[in-house]
């Protein structure tokens, strides 16, 4: 009983902080973000607990319920469709997507070249240049430095 009360409170907090943000994404864009994270998580051949938690937290931020049926939808979308959906996001959403992907690379404690290669190809499909990625990282780092928190992306 107490767990359900805590979960309800947590969901209200998430909704109050990220509700408006999550409404700016279409369902297909939410699925595309989660599919991208799933692909990154599987690049090293293992699905780590921290990767699972990160995907769950991202789904909560996006207000996307990870039911069994919805998890199966991640398999219904291919890489090109994922890229098309993300391409249609506005610049702010794409910036968030870049940082979220970079955090996923680092969440299991080891960033592999294969994961960065996947990001390079995914970002290229979307049309996000290396210069833009570096600019996004710079802004993210500056914000984290201002608040005295870790970037979560290994810099």
Q: Which two tokens stand for residue 99?
A: 């940082």
Q: Report all structural domains of the chain as residue ranges with CATH numbers, in order of start.
A: 21-147 (1.10.3680.10)
Whether 140 contacts 149, CB under 8 Å: no
Q: What local confidence, expressed as pLDDT, does residue 109 receive?
A: 82
Whether 153 contacts 99, CB under 8 Å: yes
Let me know how long the chain is: 155
Q: What local confidence, expressed as pLDDT, does residue 144 receive?
A: 87
Give me the tens of pLDDT residue by residue for the chain, a chain 155 residues long: 545 545 545 445 444 444 577 788 999 999 999 999 998 988 888 888 999 999 999 999 999 888 766 666 666 678 888 899 999 999 999 999 999 999 999 998 888 888 899 899 999 999 999 999 999 999 999 988 888 888 888 77
Query: What pTM, to 2 d.p., does this model score?
Result: 0.82
Q: What local confidence, expressed as pLDDT, does residue 19 receive?
A: 52
Whether 98 contacts 136, CB under 8 Å: yes
């Amino acid at each position: 009983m107490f767990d359900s009360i805590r979960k309800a409170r947590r969901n209200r907090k998430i909704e109050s902080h990220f509700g408006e943000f999550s409404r700016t994404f279409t369902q297909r864009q939410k699925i595309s973000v989660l599919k991208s994270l799933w692909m990154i998580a599987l690049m090293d051949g293992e699905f780590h607990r921290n990767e699972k938690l990160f995907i769950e937290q991202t789904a909560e931020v996006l207000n996307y319920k990870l039911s069994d049926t919805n998890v199966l939808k991640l398999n219904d979308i291919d890489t090109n469709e994922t890229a098309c959906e993300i391409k249609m996001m506005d610049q702010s959403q794409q910036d968030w997507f870049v940082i979220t992907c970079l955090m996923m690379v680092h969440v299991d404690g080891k960033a592999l070249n294969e994961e960065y290669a996947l990001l390079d190809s995914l970002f290229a499909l979307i049309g996000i240049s290396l210069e833009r990625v570096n600019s996004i990282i710079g802004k993210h780092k500056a914000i984290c430095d201002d608040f005295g928190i870790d970037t979560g992306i290994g810099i």
